[in-house]
């Protein structure tokens, strides 16, 4: 271990593993360490089921009705991947290779897709007045939806047609809307959309966590809705993907990538000290040895003095022996409960996967509820979501602090990632990855550039 590295990475969460992989592909000498004996950190998948019971300090072991413990892979952080664009390989509803939202682009361009298989999530639903409804995102679905009355359906259909035809480079498609100055609130007014429709459009289609987006220019929101609709058009059931065997496969895939390009991995390796000199990181001390480095990436748990608390998230893992009611017996789905529907400042999310994804015993389902904590009684905050899941065989409740770095790392060259938020997609995580990459290298993360480097290393000619 007494060597010099360009970058040392502490923690094997998804953010750290993606950055480790990218830095290795870019020719950096990388050492990647984790104090835990397993990959994934906060974003790991726990197996066997007995281990999950131990982790949450439950006094009993799983009952026989839960099946074999090793058939379970339970995510601690529930998220789906947003997929859009062109499918390269499709076998039924398993997509080993997809061009998509930011994370799937990273998977594709670094060729980590070779290690993973994905399944399309079977449905996306939204909560209104105590019930759940399929999220309509096409003209046909809008006209058939029970979410709206007849006149509202027509207005929403006109809005969807406007979004589908909108091209920021063609003013003829603007219909009086200036994408750089017109707010989304004004766009909704233009189409005379009611509050319920605004709720599911902003939160279940554009995937905003709060209503702050209403008073900023509408371009980003229109593009988000287009992304959702195009993804849905390609996959039919929903715009989301989920990896077989759980999200713990994702950090491992990027760890393999780093190893292929010369990265060194050490699990179960205690970190005694981050060695600083003149306010700048120079190495990491472990078991009496010092590995020297020019830059350090780590999750917040390794540098508590360089991060601050930015809130809390509650996540409740629920084991069910039935699909969620009113989801057409879907084996997987997402449910978004918009903030206004339950008098909150942030949305509540439900992610449900099952035995169909090789993460649970036959006939079993895993639903994970998450939201940003707003009161002193977090469990009461998620009650509307838990009611949708009844009856629940077993619950595992976790309340986690959210941390963010106190500085940008430009002086110390120590770059801390942010804690994973309550959303059920990876877009915020990818933004953090791109932000850290830019601060470390001084240049924007370029997907296409990544692809060329990949081809150069493999010696493949550009076609």
Cβ(97)–Cβ(166) below 8 Å: no
State phi, psi for 186 to the nearest 5 degrees.
-70, -35
Instruction: Classify 243 as helix, strand or coil.
Output: strand
Confidence of residue 92 (pLDDT cuts 50, 70, 90): very low
The CA–CA distances, whole Å, from 109 to 55, 286, 453, 454 equal 35, 34, 9, 8
What is the spatial distance between Cα 41 and Cα 50, in angstroms, rounded to a whole number? 18
Question: Is domain 4-43+246-308+404-455 in CATH 1.20.1260.10, yes or no?
Answer: no
Average pLDDT over residues 332-354: 93
For the cut 60, the answer to whether the pLDDT of residue 20 exceeds it is: yes
Q: What is the pLDDT of residues 115-159, one digit of tens each?
A: 788 888 888 899 998 999 988 767 777 778 888 888 888 899 899
Average pLDDT over residues 37-63: 92
Confidence of residue 451 (pLDDT cuts 50, 70, 90): low
The pLDDT assigned to 91 comes to 36
Q: Name which of 60-69, 95-104, 188-197, 257-266 the model is least confident about.
A: 95-104
Q: What is the pLDDT of residues 391-432, one digit of tens each?
A: 999 999 999 999 999 999 999 999 999 999 998 888 788 889
Cβ(312)–Cβ(378) below 8 Å: yes
Is the bond preceding 452 in cis, omega lying within 30 degrees of 0? no
Confidence of residue 182 (pLDDT cuts 50, 70, 90): very high
Sheet containing 124-128: order of strands: 131-134, 124-128, 333-337, 348-354, 365-372, 307-320, 394-405
pLDDT averaged over the chain?
Answer: 88
Average pLDDT over residues 247-252: 89
Task: Locate CATH 1.10.405.10 in the chain.
Answer: 134-235
Confidence of residue 212 (pLDDT cuts 50, 70, 90): very high
452 vs 199 pLDDT, higher one: 199
Cβ(216)–Cβ(184) below 8 Å: yes
The dihedral formed by the CA atoms of 54, 58, 60 and 64, expressed in degrees to the nearest 10 = -70
The pLDDT assigned to 204 comes to 84
The pLDDT assigned to 319 comes to 98
Most confident of 99-103, 228-232, 243-247: 243-247
Pairing of strands 348-354, 414-416: unpaired
The pLDDT assigned to 297 comes to 98
State phi, psi for 258 to the nearest 5 degrees.
-60, -40
Residue 123: closest CA among 320, 369, 347, 327: 327
Average pLDDT over residues 171-183: 95
- Per-residue tokens: 158: 């006109």
For the cut 90, the answer to whether the pLDDT of residue 85 exceeds it is: no
What is the spatial distance between Cα 248 and Cα 1, in angstroms, rounded to a whole number? 27
Task: Locate CATH 3.50.50.60 in the chain.
Answer: 4-43+246-308+404-455
The pLDDT assigned to 135 comes to 84
Percent residues over pLDDT 70 in the chain: 90
Instruction: Classify 406 as helix, strand or coil.
Output: coil
What is the spatial distance between Cα 437 and Cα 132, in angstroms, rounded to a whole number? 39
Confidence of residue 78 (pLDDT cuts 50, 70, 90): confident
CATH of region 134-235: 1.10.405.10
Angle (nearest 5°) at CA 432 between 428 and 434: 115
For the cut 60, the answer to whether the pLDDT of residue 449 exceeds it is: no
Cβ(305)–Cβ(173) below 8 Å: no
Query: Residue 85's beta-bridge partner residues?
Result: none
The pLDDT assigned to 137 comes to 65
Percent residues over pLDDT 90 in the chain: 62
């Amino acid at each position: 271990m007494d060597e010099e590295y360009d970058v040392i990475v502490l923690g094997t969460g998804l953010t750290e593993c993606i950055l480790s992989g990218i830095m290795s592909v870019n020719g950096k000498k990388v050492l990647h360490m984790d104090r835990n004996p397993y990959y994934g950190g906060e974003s790991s998948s726990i197996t066997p089921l007995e281990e999950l019971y131990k982790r949450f300090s439950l006094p009993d072991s799983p009952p026989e009705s839960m099946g074999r413990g090793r058939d379970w892979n339970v995510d601690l952080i529930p998220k789906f991947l947003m997929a859009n664009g062109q499918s390269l390989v499709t076998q039924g509803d398993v997509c080993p290779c997809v061009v998509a939202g930011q994370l799937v682009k990273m998977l594709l361009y670094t060729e980590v897709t070779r290690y993973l298989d994905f399944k399309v999530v079977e449905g996306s639903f939204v909560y209104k007045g105590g019930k759940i409804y399929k999220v309509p995102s096409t003209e046909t679905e809008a006209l058939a939806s029970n979410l709206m009355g007849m006149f509202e359906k027509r207005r929403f259909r006109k809005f969807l047609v406007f979004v589908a035809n909108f091209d920021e480079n063609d003013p003829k498609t603007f219909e009086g809307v200036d994408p750089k100055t017109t707010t989304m609130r004004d766009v909704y007014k233009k189409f005379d959309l009611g509050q319920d429709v605004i709720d599911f459009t902003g939160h279940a289609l554009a995937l905003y966590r709060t209503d702050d987006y209403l008073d900023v220019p509408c371009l980003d929101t229109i593009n988000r809705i287009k992304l959702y609709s195009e993804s849905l058009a390609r996959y039919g059931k929903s715009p989301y993907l989920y990896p077989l065997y759980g999200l713990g496969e994702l950090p491992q895939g990027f760890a393999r990538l780093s190893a292929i390009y010369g990265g060194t991995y050490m699990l179960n390796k205690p970190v005694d000290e981050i060695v600083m000199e003149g306010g700048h990181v120079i190495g990491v001390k472990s078991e009496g040895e010092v590995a020297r480095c020019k830059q350090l990436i780590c999750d917040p748990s390794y540098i508590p003095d360089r991060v601050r608390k930015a809130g809390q998230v509650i996540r409740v893992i629920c084991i069910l022996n039935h699909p969620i009611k009113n989801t057409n017996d879907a084996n997987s789905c997402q449910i978004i409960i918009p903030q206004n529907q339950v008098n909150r400042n942030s949305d509540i999310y439900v992610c449900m996967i099952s035995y169909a994804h090789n993460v649970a015993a036959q006939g079993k389902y895993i639903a994970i509820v998450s939201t940003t904590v707003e009161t002193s009684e977090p469990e009461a905050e998620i009650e509307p979501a838990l009611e949708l899941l009844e009856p629940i065989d077993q619950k595992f409740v976790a309340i986690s602090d959210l941390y963010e770095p106190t500085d940008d790392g430009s002086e110390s060259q120590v770059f801390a990632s942010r804690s994973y938020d309550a959303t059920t997609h990876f877009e915020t995580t990818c933004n953090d990855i791109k932000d850290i990459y830019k601060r470390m290298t001084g240049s924007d993360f370029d997907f296409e550039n990544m692809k060329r480097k990949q081809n150069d290393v493999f010696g493949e000619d550009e076609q």
